[in-house]
Homo-oligomer: A and B are copies of this chain.
Amino acid sequence: MSVARVTEISAVSEEGFEDAINQAIARATKTLRNVEGAWVKDRNVMVEDGEIKGYKVNLEVTFVLEDDS
């Protein structure tokens, strides 16, 4: 048997959505062990003075819990 947790994170990138996703995964794998994957839940574009200021993604990240945690 294995038990995992699902946690939601969001990330904003100035480059684009795929960059935001990659950054969010990099951040998640730095602090969480055994990340298995992530589901892309939402995407937003942030605009200021008529210019795109950021691409924001919300991800639901799944990571397996270890036995003695």
Question: Which residues from chain A sit less than 8 Å from chain B, CB to CB?
Answer: 1-14, 16-18, 20-25, 27, 29-31, 35-40, 42-48, 50-52, 58-60, 62, 65, 69
If the complex has contacts A3-B23, A24-B3, A52-B22, are A62 and B29 also in contact, measured as CB distance less than 8 A? no
CB distance A4 to B10 under 8 Å?
A: yes
Q: Is the CB of A29 within 8 A of B47?
A: yes
**A67 smallest CB distance to B (angstroms):** 10
Task: Note all chain B residues with C-beta closer than 8 A to A3.
Answer: 9-12, 23-24, 27
Q: How far is the CA of A51 from the CA of B10 in the complex (A)?
A: 18
Distance in Å: Cβ of A62 to nearest Cβ of chain B:
7
